[in-house]
Amino acid sequence: MAEKMKKAKAPAKLRTSTASVKTTVVKAAAVGNSATAKTPSSEAIAKLAYRYWKERGANNGQDRQDWLRAERELKGA
């Protein structure tokens, strides 16, 4: 007597609703906004670096250190 073999089931289809897609977009947008909020503008960094330069007596030669210090402080690191 021949044995009957069961057919393999097809893999389950992934269900995506419109609500889950919208939620993902909203979360991605929120993450993007917080990242840009923490990045200071070049103008803000330049103003603070200029203030550091003046506080040091307007001596030349440490402009890069002043810029990096200003950038670090504005980012909150």
Residuewise pLDDT in 10s, the chain (77 residues): 567 777 777 777 666 555 544 444 445 455 555 545 578 899 999 999 999 999 989 888 888 999 999 999 999 85
Alpha-carbon span 49 to 66, nearest angstrom: 5
Give the residue extent of every domain in the chain: 40-77
Note whether 36 and 11 are within 8 A (CB).
no
